[in-house]
């Protein structure tokens, strides 16, 4: 009788329980595969975004390096222009002194106008350098 019971239980397990468990596990497995595929897709999208961000970061870094180089060059040029401007102002002051002594008022007015024109041109050059 124990053998008959074992045989009935084995048959019940094979014919009823096992197919039901396989069906449940199979659908669970398919669901898990689908979800893992979704997760992998999200990871792939995230990695693509990181790649784009890294490329943009490298491009921005290179641009900043170029801009810093240009700024250093502009600062050097501005220093040179400031020195030249100081030299011109000193020369004009010297000329003004001589003109006062010589009484050449019209020449002084002309030189002042030329100095103003030079200052205007220097200001234009500075604005071009800054742009």
DSSP line for 32-47: HHHHHHHHHHHHHHHH
Angle at the Cα of 19 (from 16 to 2), degrees rounded to 5? 40
pLDDT of residue 131: 67
Confidence label for 46 from pLDDT (cuts 50, 70 and 90): very high
Per residue in 73-117, pLDDT (tens digit) is 999 999 888 888 888 889 888 877 776 666 667 777 888 898 898
Q: Per the confidence metrics, is the pTM higher than 0.85? A: no
């Amino acid at each position: 009788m124990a053998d008959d019971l074992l045989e009935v239980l084995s048959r019940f397990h094979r014919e009823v329980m096992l197919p039901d468990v396989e069906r449940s596990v199979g659908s669970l497995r398919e669901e898990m595969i689908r979800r893992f595929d979704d997760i992998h897709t999200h990871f792939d999208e995230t990695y693509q975004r990181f790649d784009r961000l890294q490329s943009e970061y490298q491009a921005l870094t290179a641009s900043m390096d170029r801009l810093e180089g240009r700024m250093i060059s502009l600062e050097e040029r501005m220093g040179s222009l400031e020195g030249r401007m100081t030299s011109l102002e000193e020369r004009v002051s010297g000329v003004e002194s001589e003109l006062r002594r010589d009484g050449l008022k019209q020449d002084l007015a002309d030189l002042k106008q030329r100095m103003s024109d030079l200052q205007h041109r220097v200001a234009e050059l500075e604005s071009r350098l800054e742009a």
